[in-house]
Structure 1
């Protein structure tokens, strides 16, 4: 039975990924649309429960009157049908309605609603631009995803609770006491006005504090995650104490917001208790005075006092619901600032598939400044023939890696265009573009998954033998077969830890090379691909790299010039411009920047004849 309700909503529905609205209510509705029929059913059931509960209070008042003025011997005969009806309400209707509410609320909504939000937000964030992740903590972004999903659910469901259940309950209760005597309405309405004043005073202040608290919590989490992510650096520099202090400052800032919140809560509870006691006193006093004049019965007094006690209990719940509501409002608003950012790099509406038959690459008068006025790359043009292997050379900051990032369309150009086989990469789908480019970078990052999953990431349809062959070619199979993890998994099934921390830099690099070998893309980018390898291993896998480069267009970046000296053409960059190009010998003969860099390389790289 539970499973049927749990399957009412498909949280993983493949919906279109639009930019979420930046307005608060627009944002909440955007993520509530998939679940609104269930939410409406929950609200309707809640209203039915509220009416039935008020009916029970009315019946209890009638019962008090009956017991006071009716003949005990004929009691059941005189009131049989009314007693039967209330028995049905108490024993059948109210339990069934309450049970249905609990099941549809908890099984149908509470789990799947936030999961639907998380799924849609996660899919959107996965397609965010690279710059989005460069400007924030990964832990902070993940924290916003988790917090915001729960906060959207809490905001919407609490508003439904307050507007429907409380509204129906209070209105029905007011009609019941007014039916006994309109005088009873005075203390109830006075209490309501005072209660709304309490909400008006305290809740906005709690909202502001809660927003500050959500910010402080995200910063605190980001600081803690930053230390854990870079634990090797912390250990290398023996800076555990510095990281403690770094986290302590953010924890203290968070604690200040907690203290501010608790002060408001204390004041709010004291004020609420005071007006609740005044309502009880006023209702009790009026009951005595009206009873003395014969204007109300003992049953009606019982109903009025019972409703006062019920409202007192509800008032605490409502106030916490409202304060919790605004706490979650602050969390949602904080999440909107992160989640509802437009992507810097998006596919055009008419983006076409990329068809790569030869692998020619052209940079035509491209300009890119990372949003600054000048610098990085300016009016650069470069044509790479199909199957040509070029080496990019230059000092740090010359623009080599930026050129590669622009080819991958991690950023959009500020001028010019990049063509692959004559197709402007701005007019093709990003996924198609990157599927046709294999990349091995200097800073290899592996997923915290098995070796098999990491190697097969470039080509998910492969089998174990193909993965083993790629590892064999990258000279990684030997160490992979000896791997194990704390869960007892070995070999290809062993997990590598976050970002591959359980492996050495050279081991990670060989896994990355195996991954690209398997991907077998027509365009290959090697950005310091062998920098983490020792000379013996580098020599051993050179043949595999040559096999990998066979028939492909290759762009290789290396500071160790001996690794790219044999390329078809070398491109020397400086300050975002191409200043030299040609073969290794051509550039040495020119005696320019390349010749200077070559002469500065450490022993073993110089021409032995010239060195003599």
Structure 2
């Protein structure tokens, strides 16, 4: 316990959650602004983080050098003792060589232990828990700042793997350089100097060995670096496929009767196995080469030592010291080559991770962006155009003005552009031309955080966080009291089923966790939790994209009054294929191929006999019956 208390003093030297991005001053408190990007070059990436922990890393560098020095002294000391024993009688040995013995005992018992203890504290208390995780934390924060499109184009599991790998690989790389590699370099230099003092020919052998070792590093290790990067990428790909399968396990169970998912995952795994095999073949080649080189080095030094001893130029202790040093060098060089292999593989992993972590978000706040100020809630789409980068029209020269407090329904066939308009208003994408304003403020000129804080959203595909019911309801307003959370749940007609919930850990009611994406709840239950979340957030603008699609008619009727109450005094944009749910809104906007083709109240549009009337006629039980329509947006 005393040791634990002592070691804890070193654990807070580095803060794992510190971030050197300039915008951290703002982002930490109110999420305004963006953090500075991380370097997109592996060397600069490593140096960026090394500077943040310079004192512990300098300490590790010193300990690495002292470790090599202690190793050299201990093996050289064997030779000193042998010479001392040869020239002294046993009776007077201790008296005549007291300081030699005392010095070697100090180095062996105290000095070595102190150096190893200091290195262990630096690595295990300061660097591994905090430095590694600081890299992960800063990497996570850069990825989470990326645009919605970024996450649509990649596996969530692969992105998580990159964050994990970035911290581990960068930390291992720095520790290996400063402690292991530097200790080895120190030992090699001291060994060459010591053996040169015994017999200059030994230092020549070691110098030639050093050149051969460097040649192998320069010519054989680059291939390992490339293969290490390929292995890291293959690993993240197959991991991403596994996570994708697990995340969508219901679809896999329902539709994958021929086990195609196994083949998909196996293909990724097979590529990873092949990448590992290629890497291992290269490792076997270099291990064999270093074994041959070390054999030549030990034979050369041993031969010179014996010849020198026969000629009387090398003492018995000198032979013992030389053989001890080269045997230790053989052991260290093989171990060091393994570490250099790891060093190169880690460097490849860092390069691979940096390619994902470092790119600038393609949708960011302007440097002078200010928080959105919503006074009336007027929304305007002004001659906007958006193509999803495809070149073909999705939204073309679209204009729509929504008055403060007006309730507007967007109607049209699937693929007409309704959800696209909602996503553009939320600035999940930037318009290609034109502008969108709220109370006259261009949403491209305000901060994304303040924009989305002013809008409450309920979507058809409701995904909850794998947290408690209470945390999900209060996600948009974390400071809400329990009473406010309970009230929102009651108004969303969720208060009856929440007390019946249980999770595997024994939590119940509002403390029960909902599973990944809320999978433990039914679609209707998830929808009611999402509605409760929006009710609690109480934002001045509401976006309802099929907000009641997962509810049966009885439940929908039960909460309709609360929804109407929720919409009072707010600007509302609602999308629904079930037209009866939006027929009573102030105005209906009928969209087809990204353009407004009709607008007005329900009764007026029915009388006109246009597209809206056709959609209404094709409904069966309140749903659009167009079987030819594409999948919902």
| Normalised TM-score (structure 1) | 0.96
Mapped to 1, the partners of 2:68 and 2:156 lie a distance apart of: 45
User: What is the aligned partner in structure 2 of residue 543 from structure 1?
Assistant: 561
Following superposition, the deviation at residue 9 of structure 1 comes to 0.5
Following superposition, the deviation at residue 14 of structure 1 comes to 4.3
Residues 439-448 or 336-345, more deviating: 336-345
Q: Does 1:510 align with 2:528?
A: yes
Following superposition, the deviation at residue 162 of structure 1 comes to 5.1
Q: Summarize the alignment of residues 572-611 of structure 1 with structure 2, pairs less than 5 Å apart.
A: 572-603=590-621
User: What is the aligned partner in structure 1 of residue 26 from structure 2?
Assistant: none
Q: Does 1:7 align with 2:12?
A: yes
SS in 1 for 2:175: helix
2:65–2:179 CA contact under 8 A, matched in 1: no
Distance of aligned partners of 1:203 and 1:400 in 2 relative to their CA distance in 1, 3 Å threshold: same
1:38–1:109 CA contact under 8 A, matched in 2: yes
Choose the corresponding residue for 2:164, options 125, 132, 146.
146
Following superposition, the deviation at residue 349 of structure 1 comes to 1.1
Q: Does 1:81 align with 2:99?
A: yes
Residues 163-172 or 430-439, more deviating: 163-172
SS in 1 for 2:588: strand
2:580–2:622 CA contact under 8 A, matched in 1: no
User: What is the aligned partner in structure 1 of residue 539 from structure 2?
Assistant: 521
Mapped to 2, the partners of 1:317 and 1:311 lie a distance apart of: 10
Choose the corresponding residue for 1:381, options 389, 399, 414.
399
Following superposition, the deviation at residue 109 of structure 1 comes to 0.7
SS in 2 for 1:434: helix
How large is the Cα RMSD of the aligned pairs?
Answer: 1.5
Choose the corresponding residue for 1:454, options 432, 448, 472.
472
1:152–1:332 CA contact under 8 A, matched in 2: yes
Following superposition, the deviation at residue 152 of structure 1 comes to 1.0
Cα shift readout 1:338-362 (whole Å, capped 9, x = no counterpart): 1112111111111111111111111
Residues 103-112 or 538-547, more deviating: 103-112
Q: Does 1:358 align with 2:411?
A: no
User: What is the aligned partner in structure 2 of residue 609 from structure 1?
Assistant: none
Following superposition, the deviation at residue 604 of structure 1 comes to 6.2
Choose the corresponding residue for 1:31, options 46, 49, 57.
49
Following superposition, the deviation at residue 552 of structure 1 comes to 0.4
Q: Structure 2: give runs of 5+ residues left out of the alignment.
A: 1-5, 22-34, 625-633
Mapped to 2, the partners of 1:498 and 1:376 lie a distance apart of: 33
User: What is the aligned partner in structure 1 of residue 263 from structure 2?
Assistant: 245
Mapped to 1, the partners of 2:319 and 2:450 lie a distance apart of: 76
Residues 514-523 or 343-352, more deviating: 343-352
Mapped to 1, the partners of 2:47 and 2:586 lie a distance apart of: 57
User: What is the aligned partner in structure 2 of residue 494 from structure 1?
Assistant: 512
SS in 1 for 2:398: strand
Mapped to 2, the partners of 1:209 and 1:332 lie a distance apart of: 13
2:60–2:179 CA contact under 8 A, matched in 1: no
Mapped to 2, the partners of 1:230 and 1:533 lie a distance apart of: 22
Following superposition, the deviation at residue 59 of structure 1 comes to 2.1
SS in 1 for 2:331: helix
User: What is the aligned partner in structure 1 of residue 109 from structure 2?
Assistant: 91
1:344–1:411 CA contact under 8 A, matched in 2: no
1:360–1:553 CA contact under 8 A, matched in 2: yes
Q: Summarize the alignment of residues 472-483 of structure 1 with structure 2, pairs less than 5 Å apart.
A: 472-483=490-501
Choose the corresponding residue for 1:269, options 287, 304, 309.
287
Cα shift readout 1:339-390 (whole Å, capped 9, x = no counterpart): 1121111111111111111111111111111123231111111111100000
Mapped to 2, the partners of 1:604 and 1:332 lie a distance apart of: 55
SS in 2 for 1:170: helix
| Normalised TM-score (structure 2) | 0.93
Q: Summarize the alignment of residues 82-481 of structure 1 with structure 2, pairs less than 5 Å apart.
A: 82-161=100-179, 163-239=181-257, 241-481=259-499
1:448–1:498 CA contact under 8 A, matched in 2: yes
Cα shift readout 1:467-507 (whole Å, capped 9, x = no counterpart): 11111111111111111011111111111000000001111
Residues 531-540 or 509-518, more deviating: 531-540
Following superposition, the deviation at residue 238 of structure 1 comes to 4.1
1:447–1:454 CA contact under 8 A, matched in 2: yes
Mapped to 2, the partners of 1:311 and 1:118 lie a distance apart of: 36
Residues 508-517 or 351-360, more deviating: 351-360
Distance of aligned partners of 1:411 and 1:286 in 2 relative to their CA distance in 1, 3 Å threshold: same
1:215–1:334 CA contact under 8 A, matched in 2: yes
Following superposition, the deviation at residue 194 of structure 1 comes to 2.1
Mapped to 2, the partners of 1:104 and 1:481 lie a distance apart of: 49
Distance of aligned partners of 1:604 and 1:41 in 2 relative to their CA distance in 1, 3 Å threshold: closer
Mapped to 2, the partners of 1:33 and 1:413 lie a distance apart of: 40
Cα shift readout 1:54-76 (whole Å, capped 9, x = no counterpart): 12222221111111112333323
Mapped to 1, the partners of 2:178 and 2:55 lie a distance apart of: 13
Mapped to 2, the partners of 1:239 and 1:188 lie a distance apart of: 65
Q: Does 1:41 align with 2:59?
A: yes
Mapped to 1, the partners of 2:473 and 2:544 lie a distance apart of: 17
User: What is the aligned partner in structure 2 of residue 67 from structure 1?
Assistant: 85
